[in-house]
């Protein structure tokens, strides 16, 4: 499939880029080559081939968070400037938030 210089100019206009005459020629040839390759791919018989998103077989590895009691919790909380209900209390970071 051959793409014309006029089509390349239209694409360049839509992309808001300026091309020289030489660039128009080169892009017309390159785009035509890509379109020919896509046409070739469209001719391949894919009957019975399942759609594939990835082929490595890798999956997300999820590790659940597990909490553990800290043996030094009392000593650590004693060093904090503000503590409420055995938790560190920090100043609000958003203007409309309460303290």
Looking at the whole model, is its pTM more than 0.85? no
The H or E element containing residue 87 is: strand 87-88
What is the per-residue pLDDT for 33?
Answer: 96
Q: Is 88 helix (H, G, I), strand (E, B) or coil?
A: strand
Q: Look up residue 29 and give its two tokens.
A: 């040839």
Q: Which domains does the chain have, with CATH numbers?
A: 5-42 (1.10.20)
At 62 the pLDDT is 87
pLDDT averaged over consecutive 10-residue blocks of the chain (99 residues)? Answer: 92 96 96 94 90 84 88 91 90 73
Distance CA 15, CA 9 (A): 10
């Amino acid at each position: 499939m051959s793409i014309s210089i006029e089509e390349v100019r239209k694409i360049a206009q839509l992309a808001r880029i300026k091309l020289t005459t030489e660039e128009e020629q080169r892009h017309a040839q390159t785009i035509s080559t890509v379109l020919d390759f896509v046409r070739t791919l469209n001719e391949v018989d894919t009957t019975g081939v399942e759609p594939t998103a990835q082929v490595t077989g890798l999956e997300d590895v999820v590790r659940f968070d597990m909490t553990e009691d800290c043996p030094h919790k009392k000593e650590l909380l004693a060093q904090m400037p503000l503590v409420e209900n055995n938790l560190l209390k920090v100043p609000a970071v958003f203007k409309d938030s309460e303290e």
